[in-house]
Chain A
Amino acid sequence: MEILSNLFNVALLVATIRTTTPILLVALGGSFTTKAGIFNIGLEGQMLIAAFFAVVGSIYTGSSLGGMVIGVFAALVFALIYAVLVVSFRANEVVVGLALNILAGGITVSLLKAIFGTRGSVVGRGIVGLPKVQIPGARDLLGPSTAQLISGYTPLVYVAFLAVPLLIIFYNRTRLGLYIRVVGEKPEAAEALGISIVWIRYAASLLCGLFAGLAGAHMSLGYITMFTENMSSGRGFMAVAILIFSGGDPLKVLAGCLLFGFADAFSLRLQTFGFPSYLVLAVPYAVALVALFALSWRARPKRIRETVETIRRALSVHRSGEADRDAPLPRS
């Protein structure tokens, strides 16, 4: 029991919120492209490049804000290249995305060597981390342990979680948000109404770059102020997975990211209890896999469905159609 109460406490929730933030930011960014009908697999690369340039920027400008801006700018450059290739030149989005991911990995490694003369990672050297925001009065009102749930995070944590309701309003009540949805869902409708599919997709790509950039900056300037090779460690891909089953819907994205963040935080806790680290590190990905499998079961491909159906029928004796009779009418 003691172990359990040590495992599950406020600190775990706080850690969950922290670990959720970067993946939430990048997944919300990806929600723009997903809604606009682009399967953006290049999130990982945009995040990584932003993380690196955020470190470089913060050393150069001496401020975390400067670092963040430069990191975001780097991600926007990547997003623009992606948009030019995919939207204007109609290149295959998976190929371009993968290529940019590999490019981001390569660039960061070689620039690490060229600028810092090191391999692996860069720590210290004047990197300025993001400040912590203390919400005034939180401590007095809620007490020290509960207060840390809402207070003391970096600004980007608040940005990430506030972005969720803002995005809902964006998609439902603003013209650009509506057009992004239309372009993704029914491009021919957009075309017939004179909405430029190309420009809307560019806008979605760049918004995606902005958020992926913030995610990257949060990774390298948030709770640890350092850059390591491939430090995004698959978060971009996890975001892609979350986007596939959420369809880019902000609330579902949030749910998926919280699940992943929780698994991540939980695995970190387990590590402190002496579980083998290589197993523990697999926990978030295993959880995500199981969740995705469970959620996509309803949308499983036809082949699998038919096979399952055949097996089911082979195993069961004649079942009357009663169950179907009350099913909702599919058509009108």
Chain B
Amino acid sequence: MSAVHGSQLYFNRRHERAPRIQPEVRRRLSTYVSSLSCVNHRLSSPASVCFMDFAVDLTGITKRFGAFTANDSINLTVRRGEIHAIIGENGAGKTTLMNILFGLLQPDAGSIAIGGKTMLIDSPAVAIAEGLGMVHQHFKLVPSLTVADNIFLGMEIRKNGLIDRAAQVERTRFLSEKFGLRVDPQERVAGLSVGIEQRIEILKVLARNARTIILDEPTAVLTPQESHDLFQTLRGFVDDGMTVIFISHHLEEVMAVSDTVTVLRDGRVVATKAKSALTKRELVRLMVGRDISFDRRPRTRNDGAVALNVTDLWARDDRWLPALKSVSLTVSSGEIVGIAGVAGNGQTELAEVLAGLRPASNGSVQLHGHDILDRTPAEIRNRGLAHVPGDRMVRGVDRDATLSANMLMGRQKKKPFARHGVIDWAAVHEAMRALIQRYDIRARGPKDPARSLSGGNIQKVVLAREFTAGGDVLLIDQPTRGVDIGAQEAIHDEIMRQRADGRAILLISTQLDELKALADRILVMFDGRIMGSVDGAEMDEDAIGLMMAGINPADMTEAT
């Protein structure tokens, strides 16, 4: 609390004035004498009105995992009928806090009040009974069941001992219409888009009569249009008197949709403010602790020759279905070409085919005029293509190997690391030490195992290896997925340096901000096809959004 300045206080002040009771004692007390706690509050702070207008009120929540404190005496008050965003970097404690509120974790100290009533929430069932509903980041739907079955799973409507399908469908239709969340109750969930899956998750929560809805990173998997629809829905909920708690690390959407913002950093509340009193820049500073810019990087035009030329590329995914459909693109030296799209529209397969990790069914890929399709990954690398894989833990690093060994991968036969077929570890460590310095990798030394590093630093290890591999075409898949904002900035700087060095860069990202900051041209992928190209400098977000959803903006203008 000491970190909170007067101006940032929103309605936490009463906790300051409240008599200092040992949190543990207080929690126990409040569990047994829940009705009394209301009186307790009133005595300590006569001005407040027993907090009946607070949907959720967390006081002094502390949660430790071993020596790590995930939540450090967090106070959070959510008024009824507002959209309250909780924003913070990875590891700031957002999800831990919500899991405590929802009864999935038990706090070491602190108390929870819902609707002004202090209570012990020791299981999600209790939370649900109190009108809380949680839409998890990873959807928990059963693919082989229908929409209605999923919504009523765990609270089936039954007749004569058998599940009454018709009644469930009927009720789903009613909820769907009432809240404007369009779904077909009888459709199977398998094969539905993530946007619809999320609608189903929200309907699930509504079917359980939730009045306060918690959404954990709800837009991570949505197209801009889907996000927009979601925000409208949330607005509708709030207008109906419901309360929404919205967890995010996405600045734009927090600014777009919330009424009040609570910023967490390192497990503490840094500020709770009305959205109107905040700017984006300020929000970043609160989250990261320093100023960071996400503006478009300044650049000079490079007119390089075409380095990577992909024509009519077809490939299948793991389920043997077409994943790439006639993809054609070129990347020139000194150019960053961005690939935008909702995850799972062929981007991963494209990267894998280019890197030689997946066979293509048809087409050609030329690197400086040499055909590299169907070559082994090693041959492709030797031709000059460096690949930063999308999932660093699977294809980027060996978690249990040292940083040196990870850096060595792919160049173990080359000088100076190998002499007469024997690895010169001293040289390897020396080179790794230089990379740690150069790329500002936060590690104790080259012999640290990769798993001891944070996600952002592991990503830097992968980037350092690939950028120094000598390739002049860089294939970078999701460079900052799951990386903190601070490290993101450093990674973006490095990519821009590579561009300035005249390298051809194909940048695959699901984050439009990232492409906006870096890319010279943006290609949008949908369902395995390139829907169209947008200039990076005058980025038209509406056009990109439409293409991400599979709609050609040209068709739209013709139609209207």
> Which A residues fall within an 8 A CB radius of B?
169, 172-175, 178, 181-182, 185-186, 188-189, 192-195, 298, 302, 305-306, 309-310, 313, 318-321, 324-325, 327-332
Contacts and interface: CB of A to CB of B under 8 A. Distances in A.
Contacts of B345: 331
Contacts of B156: 175, 178
A265 B153 CA distance: 44
Contacts of B153: 178, 182, 189, 193
Given A178-B153, A324-B314, A332-B192, A309 B359 contact: yes
Interface stretch (B79-87, B138-146, B513-521): B138-146
Contact of B374 (A195, A313, A324): A313
Interface centre among A186, A306, A318, A325, by most chain B C-beta atoms within 10 angstroms, is: A186
A321 B143 contact: no
A175 B359 contact: no
B191 interface: yes
Contact of B136 (A192, A318, A328, A329): A192
Nearest to A172: B163
Nearest to B195: A332
Contacts of B162: 169, 173-174
A301 to B, nearest CB: 11
A16 to B, nearest CB: 31
Interface in B277-330: 312, 314, 317-323, 325-326
Contacts, number: 91
Taking residues whose C-beta sits less than 8 angstroms from the other chain, chain B's interface range is 35 or more
Interface of B: 123-125, 136, 138, 140-145, 149, 153-154, 156, 158, 161-163, 165, 191-193, 312, 314, 317-323, 325-326, 344-345, 359, 361-363, 374, 527-528
A320 B547 CA distance: 26
A189 B142 contact: yes
B326 A328 contact: no
Contacts of A181: 142, 144-145
A327 B321 contact: yes
B355 to A, nearest CB: 14
Given A173-B162, A192-B124, A313-B359, A321 B141 contact: no
A182 B142 contact: yes
A282 to B, nearest CB: 33
Contacts of B123: 194
Interface centre among A174, A321, A328, by most chain B C-beta atoms within 10 angstroms, is: A321
B477 to A, nearest CB: 18
6 contacts: A173-B165, A174-B161, A193-B154, A319-B361, A321-B325, A321-B326
B143 A185 contact: yes
A305 B161 CA distance: 46
A306 B161 CA distance: 49
B527 A331 contact: yes
B193 A319 contact: no
Contact of B325 (A173, A182, A305, A324): A324
B362 A319 contact: yes
Contact of B140 (A175, A188, A325): A188
B158 to A, nearest CB: 7
Interface centre among B125, B193, B322, B528, by most chain A C-beta atoms within 10 angstroms, is: B322
Contacts of B527: 329-331
B361 A186 contact: no
Contacts of B326: 321
Nearest to B374: A313
Instruction: Give the 7 A-B CB pairs with smallest separation, nearest first.
Output: A193-B154, A330-B321, A189-B140, A321-B314, A173-B162, A324-B322, A321-B362
A185 B362 contact: no
A194 B124 contact: yes
A331 B317 CA distance: 11
Given A174-B161, A188-B138, 7 more contacts: A172-B163, A186-B143, A193-B154, A321-B326, A327-B321, A330-B322, A331-B344
Given A173-B162, A173-B163, A189-B142, A195 B317 contact: no
A329 B193 CA distance: 12
Nearest to A187: B140
Interface centre among B192, B193, B321, by most chain A C-beta atoms within 10 angstroms, is: B321
A318 B345 CA distance: 25
A319 B314 CA distance: 11
A175 B312 contact: no
A174 B319 contact: no
A318 B314 CA distance: 12
Contact of B319 (A309, A330, A332): A330
Nearest to B526: A331
B318 A302 contact: yes
A304 to B, nearest CB: 12
B144 to A, nearest CB: 6
A321 B163 contact: no
Nearest to A189: B140
B183 to A, nearest CB: 14
Contacts of B318: 302
Contacts of B158: 175
Nearest to B138: A188
B90 to A, nearest CB: 21
Given A186-B140, A189-B142, A324 B193 contact: no
B191 A332 contact: yes
A324 B361 contact: yes
Contacts of A330: 317, 319, 321-323, 527-528
A174 B158 CA distance: 9
A330 B165 CA distance: 28
A324 to B, nearest CB: 4
Contacts of A327: 321-322
A124 B161 CA distance: 45
A306 to B, nearest CB: 6
